[in-house]
Structure 1
Amino acid sequence: MGRVGDASGRSGGDVRWPFVVACDWNGTLVDDGDRVWEAAGAVLSRLRLPSPGRVEFFEAWCLPLTRLFEELGVPRSQLGGAVRHWNDEVSARDASLAWGVREMVEGVRSLGAGVGIVSAAAVKVIERDLARLTLTGLLDFVVGDAEPKRAALRSLKPDQPGQVAYVGDTEYDIIEARAAGVWAIGYGGGYRPGAALAAAGADHVIDRLDLLPALVRRLDGSVPSRSGAMR
């Protein structure tokens, strides 16, 4: 697990912020559907495997990446190499910032909360994107290579998981947030539709990132009400 501007800077987690918002990167803070599909196609082509169309690819999308490539036909012995190649291909392509990201970050921080990234993507991919999108230094922490994500999320506020929200665009993100005991916020503007995120157990689903500060204001001081975390 790689970290830049580590949010768990002290033993027992970081106490600088009363509330922490962690966000997924690919498909959540960056609008990069084309590049991840193209990157996967490059990986499969190199392995002489058929590449799905864009719609079929995102219907099959799942995490962790090893599971995705196994579903796409990559032999188990080649899964590690496929993931590394995918990260290289993604890093070589540009992506756009999702609409409302800067407003969201400013709004969350105006509440005194911390905001950063927890992603399964390689740190080098995230750092390159941050630099190109002029976001370097804007976020409070970056955790890349997070697999499983639940471990990284638990480390943010291990004694107060209810004071952490994780925003992601896939069912896997929701499952990992629930397993960590933190708020699971689905973002319906990414790889997977909001209905799928709700079905996966999201506590809330938003279609615009600029709506997040108002939601954080409501969540701060409460805890997720669940019969049991998904595992």
Structure 2
Amino acid sequence: MSASLRLILFDVDGTLVDSQAAIVGAMTDAFGSIGLPVPTRPEILSIVGLSLDHAMTRLAPQANVETQAALVEGYKSAYHQARIQAGAGHSPLYPGARATLEALNAVPEYLLGVATGKSQRGMDGLIEAHDLTCFVTRQVADQHPSKPHPSMILTAMAETGVTPEHTVMIGDTSFDMDMARAAGVRSIGVPWGYHPVDRIGADHVISSFADLLPLLNGLWKA
């Protein structure tokens, strides 16, 4: 394990990109296509960050396994088609996200990664659309149990050789913070995402991306 490297993990939806319109639209299509009542916008946003099978269990708890599986496939198809049509505008980066990623990536000892409820296909499409080549480790829903299980963070640390005290998880939901806690790493919450920031249980909270680099430098000053 390296004593000098630092691992900075980002959630994606609601943290790096504003995907709420895309998520709500795809979920609306998925439920509508099989004739189920569409959940409300707050209900849909409350499950962002979970793997799709877990999300559908929460959104359609009375549906049988086959129906929930159909919702998952309907969502994937609708989201994929909308992303192809819209390109980078499908899930735009939040203001300051790109500049912050570039600034962090310029620090030699900082390694960047993602830990996301997105699928591999969804993450690959997002990276291509926004030309995000800075992530050295990419942990997605296809490879892991759903958040808040710590598997994504534990695997990212194993891949990079970085210890828990030198790792942080940045996200917008309680799922991200609970995952960080379970993995034994510090958490940083952002207020522009999908869960109320005062209820997600983050160790630290930033008000804008401009606050992130100074905070990290302060945390790891010693």
1:35 is matched with 22
In structure 1, stretches of 5+ residues that fail to align are: 1-11, 223-231
- TM value normalised by structure 2: 0.81
Please tell me whether residue 122 in structure 1 is matched to residue 119 in structure 2.
yes
Superimposed CA distance per residue, residues 28-48 of structure 1 (whole angstroms, 9 cap, x where no aligned partner)? 111111110111111111231
Structure whose residues are more often helix by fraction: 2
- Provide the rounded CA distance (Å) in 2 between the counterparts of 1:25 and 1:16: 27
1:155 aligns with 2:162: no
Q: Give, as a single letter, the amino acid of the residue that structure 1 aligns with 2:80.
A: S
Amino acid in the other structure paired with 2:10: C
Which residue in the other structure is 2:86 paired with?
none
CA distance in 2, matches of 1:86, 1:220: 41
Are 2:172 and 1:181 aligned?
A: no
TM-superposed deviation, 1:177: 0.8
Q: Cα–Cα, structure 1 residues 51 and 141, in superposed 2: closer, same or farther, change >3 Å?
A: same
1:185–1:204 Cα contact (<8 Å) kept: yes
1:219 aligns to what?
219
Distance 1:65 1:203 in 2: 27
Match of 1:229 in 2: none
Partner of 1:63: 50
Partners in 2 of 1:185 and 1:177 — Cα distance?
Answer: 9
Matched, 1:77 2:80: no
- SS of equivalent to 2:218: helix
Aligned position for 2:35: 48
Structure 1 residues 174 and 129: CA distance shift in structure 2, 3 A: same
The equivalent residue for 1:25 is 12
Report the secondary structure of 2:135's partner residue: coil
Partner of 1:99 in structure 2?
A: 95
Q: Secondary structure at the match of 1:141?
A: strand
Q: Work out whether residues 111 and 217 of structure 1, in 8 Å CA contact, stay in contact via their aligned partners in 2.
A: no
Runs of at least 5 residues in structure 2 that lack an aligned partner in the other structure: 83-89
Give the paired residue count: 205
Q: Give the SS at the match of 1:28.
A: coil
Q: CA RMSD in A?
A: 2.4
Distance, in Å, in 1 between the alignment partners of 2:32 and 2:75 is 12
For residues 160-217 of structure 1, the C-alpha deviation after alignment (integer angstroms, 9 at most, x for no partner) is: 11111111111111111110111111111111221122xxx21011232232111111
